[in-house]
Amino acid sequence: MFALLYDPVSEIRKFKKQSYTHILLYLLAAALFETIGLLFFAWKYLNNLLTTSTVINGITGVLFALIAAHLVTAFFFALAMHVLDGKGGYYEALATLVLGMVAPSVATFLSGAMIYLPLGTIISAALMAYGYIIGTATLFRAAKEYFELDYAGVLIGFLITAIPLGLAVAGISLLV
């Protein structure tokens, strides 16, 4: 899993062979890293607002929301990419999204821990930038490999998925 931080191409190739077990384990581990990292940030910046029940509910909610969001988004990403290329399916979409999530999740965890050090904010910002850059590059490279499209096609598929889902979430949040 940590190879995605320094050699994502080999990890992408490793997952070309379908293995739902491994990709779901990666999803769970990445969601845990992200959740704990967000908890570190919450302890640092929202300490006066946190109660035990808030922490437990927040951890549980974020963990399950991350997992559910990736499983649902993978469906729509698979749909868009299948229309664009006629290849690939749900596994390829899920693997793409999960592999693209690992580096930002680990970076969030490490950044959350580093925020408590002197000059930790600077280190934290650099770690977050590194994680999100690697994660985004991994997402596009994995989609290119799994769906056999060029980067322009991957970008179009990503935008076709992200924009309607973002608008749907924004619309629902306005209604609630």
Contacts of 138 (CB under 8 A, 6+ apart): 4, 8, 11, 12, 99, 100, 102, 103
CA dihedral 102, 118, 62, 126 (to 10 degrees): -30
d(CA 54, CA 135): 29
| Residues of the chain above pLDDT 90, percent | 70
Taking a C-beta distance cutoff of 8 angstroms, is the pair 67, 114 a contact?
A: no
Average pLDDT value for the chain: 92
pLDDT tens digit sequence for 38-92: 999 988 888 888 888 888 898 899 999 999 999 999 999 999 999 988 788 999 9
Residue ranges of the domains in the chain?
8-175
CA 14, 18, 107, 139 torsion: positive or negative? positive
pTM above 0.75, yes or no: yes
